[in-house]
C-alpha cells in the first residue's frame, strides 16, 4: 500500500477534482472545480477515498468468504452516500473512512492469523489512514478519477470500469433500501441475502484489483462481462426490494393524490425511503402531525399500509430539482431521505433534517426516533404568506400503476390492441434536467397524440404540465 506524502497545499480546494458520474455533470464532460450538484472538491476527494476503502473491504471479505453484519453495513451505506445528490457532509465521510479503515485492519489481521493469503491492496490505498483532514485530502489525490485513468492508460477500458463501479454503487443503494425495510427478513431469506452480498464483494474485489492497474490482455472483454454481472445482480436486488416493499406496505393500487394547501403542524418528506416514511407516520400520528410527500416520494400514496394513516395527506411541489424554491414555501419541517438532496438555502435551512445516507454540513441527522423533528413541527410558526409555490389547488396526480396493477388488466389491454381500440402506449422512463431548457420528457408527455389513452411515467421522470394533468379523464399519468 502506498505511503501518504503530504505536500504543501496552497489552499484547501485540493485535491484536483474530476467527477462525471451523473447527467448533471458540467458540459457533459465532467465537473473539475465544483460539482453542478454543488459538491466541493474536498467532498469529492473524500468520496473517492471512501470508495477505494469500501472496495478494499470488499476485496478482503471476498478473500475470507464471509459476510458478517459489520462488513455488510460498511459497504452498502458509504457507497450509497457517494452517489449524486446524496451526501455533502465531509465529517460523515471522515467517519466512514475511520470505520472502514478499522474494519479493513481487522480483516487483514484475521486473514493473516488464519494463514490465508491477504490480497494485494489497490495501489492508491494509503498504508495507514491519515488523521487530519489536510492529510486525507492529500491521500485522496491518487484515488481520484484522473490519477486512476492515467494508470489504466486506456480510455475505453477505463470508461467501462467506471460504468461497472457506478452500477455497483446503484445496486448497493437499492439493496440498502431493501435491507432497511422493516419486513426485510420476511420478504427474503438469509440464503438469498448472503448470495447478494457475496456477489457485491466479488464485484468490489474486481474493481479493487483493476483500478489503477495497467490494462491486461482481454481486459475490456472482462470489464464488459462484469458490467453485465452488475446488471444481473441489480435485477435480483430490485426483485428483493419489490418483495420487501409489498411485504411491509402492501401492493400498490391506482389512486388520485391531491395538491391542496398544506395545513400545520406539518412535515414534508422527500426522497425514496418508504421505510423512513412508515416509521415517521407511526410516530407523527400520535401527535396529529400532517405528513406530505415531495418529489419521488409521490408513489407512497398508492401503498395500502401507508394510505391507512389518516395523517398522510397530499403531495407538495414538483420534482427534486425545484426544492430550493419550493421548500421555503412549505409551512413546516422537511425530512430528506435516500438522495435528491440539494444544498439547503437560508429560507428553510433551520428546519430541514436528513436520514440514512443523506447528509449536509451542520444539518441534523435523525434515524429511528423522530421526536425532535416532530417537536419542531409542533412549534413551527409559519411566516410565509399564501399562495405558495409548489401548491396547485385542486390538481390531482394519478399514481400506483405498478406492475401488479398493469398486469391485472393485461387481458383487457391485449384485447384493446388486437381490436385496434388501443394504438399507442407511452412509457416515459427518462429524466429531465434541473435546467428549464432540459424538458424533453415533459414535452414528450404533453405532445403525445390525442388518440393515446395515456402516459405511464416511472417515478418523477418528468415535470407534470398543466396540459398533461388536466386533460380529459382518459389521459392518465
- What CATH number has the domain bearing residue 239? 1.20.1270.20
Instruction: Please give the pLDDT value at position 452.
Output: 67
pLDDT band at residue 402 using 50, 70 and 90 as cut-offs? confident
Q: Which residue has the higher pLDDT, 389 or 118?
A: 118
Give the Cα separation of 325 and 323 in Å (integer): 5
Averaged over 279-283, what is the pLDDT? 96
Q: Which residue has the cell 417537536?
A: 375
Q: Is the pLDDT of residue 385 over 60?
A: no
Q: Which of 220, 248, 276 is the last residue of a domain?
A: 248
Same domain, 214 and 282: no
In a domain, residue 235? The reply is yes
Q: Please, which residues have CB within 8 angstroms of residue 198's CB and are 6 or more apart in sequence?
A: 62, 65, 67
Grid cell at residue 43: 467532498
Task: Give yes or no: residues 319 and 371 share one domain.
Answer: yes
Last residue of a domain, one of 199, 218, 248: 248
- Res. 47: pLDDT tops 50: yes
Is residue 365 over pLDDT 50?
yes
Is the CB of residue 256 less than 8 Å from the CB of residue 194?
no
Statement to judge: residues 63 and 211 lie in one domain: yes
Residue 81 covered by a domain: yes
**pLDDT above 70: residue 471:** no
Write down the pTM of the prediction: 0.89
Contact between 141 and 130 (Cβ < 8 Å): no
Half-sphere exposure of 65 (CA within 13 A, CB side): 3
**Does 461 or 257 have the greater pLDDT score?**
257
3-class SS of residue 31? strand
Better-predicted residue by pLDDT, 25 or 80: 80
In a shared domain, residues 119 and 184 = yes
Is the separation of the CB atoms in 139 and 49 below 8 Å? yes
What pLDDT, on the 0 to 100 scale, is given for residue 388?
55
Percent of the chain surpassing pLDDT 70: 88
Residue 238 lies in a domain: yes
Residue-number span of the structural domain to which 92 is assigned:
29-248
Whether 11 shows a pLDDT value over 60: the answer reads no
> Is 48 a residue whose pLDDT tops 90?
yes
pLDDT band at 391, cuts 50/70/90? low
Whether residue 259 is found in the same domain as residue 232: no
What is the arithmetic mean of pLDDT over 251-272?
91
Same-domain pairing of 171 and 218:
yes
Query: Are 192 and 212 members of one domain?
Result: yes
Residues 242 and 260 in one domain: no
- Provide mean pLDDT across the span 241-263: 91
Which one, of 354, 270, 269, lies nearest residue 77 by Cα?
A: 354
235, 350: one domain: no
Q: What pLDDT is recorded for position 260? A: 80
**Per-residue pLDDT at 325 exceeds 80:** yes
Question: What's the whole-number mean pLDDT along residues 128-134?
Answer: 93
Q: Which domain CATH number covers 290?
A: 3.40.50.2030
Instruction: Please report the pLDDT score of residue 440 as a whole number.
Output: 81
Tell me the helices (H) and strands (E) count for the chain, helix number first. Answer: 17, 9
Give 91 or 449, the one with higher predicted confidence: 91
d(CA 424, CA 449): 8
The rounded distance, in Å, linking the Cα atoms of 199 and 194 is: 9
**Would you place residue 262 in the very low, low, confident or very high pLDDT band (cuts 50, 70, 90)?**
confident
> Whole-angstrom Cα distance, residue 347 to residue 325?
9
- Percent above pLDDT 90 for the chain: 62
**53 closest CA partner among 99, 84, 21, 5:** 99
Q: What is the pLDDT of residue 384?
A: 60
54-107 pLDDT per residue, tens = 999 999 999 998 778 889 989 999 999 999 999 999 999 999 999 999 999 999
The domain boundary, picked from 232, 248, 264, lies at 248
Burial bucket for residue 117 (CB in 10 Å: 0-12, 13-18, 19+): exposed
Lowest mean pLDDT among 55-59, 303-307, 371-375, 415-419: 415-419
Residues 171 and 307 in one domain: no
Lowest mean pLDDT among 22-36, 367-381, 438-452: 438-452
Residue 263 makes CB contacts below 8 A (sequence gap 6+) with 290, 313, 331
Element holding 101 (H helix, E strand): helix 90-113
* Residues 454 and 425 sit within 8 Å (Cβ to Cβ): yes
- Which range (90-104, 386-400, 407-421) has the least confidence? 386-400
pLDDT of residue 6: 46
Predicted local confidence at residue 475, as pLDDT: 28
Task: For residue 389, tell me if it sits in a domain.
Answer: no
Domain count, the chain: 3
**Phi, psi at 135, each rounded to 5°:** -70, -35
Query: How far is it, in rounded angstroms, from Cα 182 to Cα 216?
Result: 45
Residue 77: name the closest of 50, 39, 43 by CA.
50
Q: Which of 309-318, 401-410, 461-470 has the lowest mean pLDDT?
A: 461-470
Average pLDDT for residues 456-474, to the nearest whole number?
42
Q: From CA 446, how far away is CA 476, in angstroms rounded?
A: 12
Amino acid at each position: 500500500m502506498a505511503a501518504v506524502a503530504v505536500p504543501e497545499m496552497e489552499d484547501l480546494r485540493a485535491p484536483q477534482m474530476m467527477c462525471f458520474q451523473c447527467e448533471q455533470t458540467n458540459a457533459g464532460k465532467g465537473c473539475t472545480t465544483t460539482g453542478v450538484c454543488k459538491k466541493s472538491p474536498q467532498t469529492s476527494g473524500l468520496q473517492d477515498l471512501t470508495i477505494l476503502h469500501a472496495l478494499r473491504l470488499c476485496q478482503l471479505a471476498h478473500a475470507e468468504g464471509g459476510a458478517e453484519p459489520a462488513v455488510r453495513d460498511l459497504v452498502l451505506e458509504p457507497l450509497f452516500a457517494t452517489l449524486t445528490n446524496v451526501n455533502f457532509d465531509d465529517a460523515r465521510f471522515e467517519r466512514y473512512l475511520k470505520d472502514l479503515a478499522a474494519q479493513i485492519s481487522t480483516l487483514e489481521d484475521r486473514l493473516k492469523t488464519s494463514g490465508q493469503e491477504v490480497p494485494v491492496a489497490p495501489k492508491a490505498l494509503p498504508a495507514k489512514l491519515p488523521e487530519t483532514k489536510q492529510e486525507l485530502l492529500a491521500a485522496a489525490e491518487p484515488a481520484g478519477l484522473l490519477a486512476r485513468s492515467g494508470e489504466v492508460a486506456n480510455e475505453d477500458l477505463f470508461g467501462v470500469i467506471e460504468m461497472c463501479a457506478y452500477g455497483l454503487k446503484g445496486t448497493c443503494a437499492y439493496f440498502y433500501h431493501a435491507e432497511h425495510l422493516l419486513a426485510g427478513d420476511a420478504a427474503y431469506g438469509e440464503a438469498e441475502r448472503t448470495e447478494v452480498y457475496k456477489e457485491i464483494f466479488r464485484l468490489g474485489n474486481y474493481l479493487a484489483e483493476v483500478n489503477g492497474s495497467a490494462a491486461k490482455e482481454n481486459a475490456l472483454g472482462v470489464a464488459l462481462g462484469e458490467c453485465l454481472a452488475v446488471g444481473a445482480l441489480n435485477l435480483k436486488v430490485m426483485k428483493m426490494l419489490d418483495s420487501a416493499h409489498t411485504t411491509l406496505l402492501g401492493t400498490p393500487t391506482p389512486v388520485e393524490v391531491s395538491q391542496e394547501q398544506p395545513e400545520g403542524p406539518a412535515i414534508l418528506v422527500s426522497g425514496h425511503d418508504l421505510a423512513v416514511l412508515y416509521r415517521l407516520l407511526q410516530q407523527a400520528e400520535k401527535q396529529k402531525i400532517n405528513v406530505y410527500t415531495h418529489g419521488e416520494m409521490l408513489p407512497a400514496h398508492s401503498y395500502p399500509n401507508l394510505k391507512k394513516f389518516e395523517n398522510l395527506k397530499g403531495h407538495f411541489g414538483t420534482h427534486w430539482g425545484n426544492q430550493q424554491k419550493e421548500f421555503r414555501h412549505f409551512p413546516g419541517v422537511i425530512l430528506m431521505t435516500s438522495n435528491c438532496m440539494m444544498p439547503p438555502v437560508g429560507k428553510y435551512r433551520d428546519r430541514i433534517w436528513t436520514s440514512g445516507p443523506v447528509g449536509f454540513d451542520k444539518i441534523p441527522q435523525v434515524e429511528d426516533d423522530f421526536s425532535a423533528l416532530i417537536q419542531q413541527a409542533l412549534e413551527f410558526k409559519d411566516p410565509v404568506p399564501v399562495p405558495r409555490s409548489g401548491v396547485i389547488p385542486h390538481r390531482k396526480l394519478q399514481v400506483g400503476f405498478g406492475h401488479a396493477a398493469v398486469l391485472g388488466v393485461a387481458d383487457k389491454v391485449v384485447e384493446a390492441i388486437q381490436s385496434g381500440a388501443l394504438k399507442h402506449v407511452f412509457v416515459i422512463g427518462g429524466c429531465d434536467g434541473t435546467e428549464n431548457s432540459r424538458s424533453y420528457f415533459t414535452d414528450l408527455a404533453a405532445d403525445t397524440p390525442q388518440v393515446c389513452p395515456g402516459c405511464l411515467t416511472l417515478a418523477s421522470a418528468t415535470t407534470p404540465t398543466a396540459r398533461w394533468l388536466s386533460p380529459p379523464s382518459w389521459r392518465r399519468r
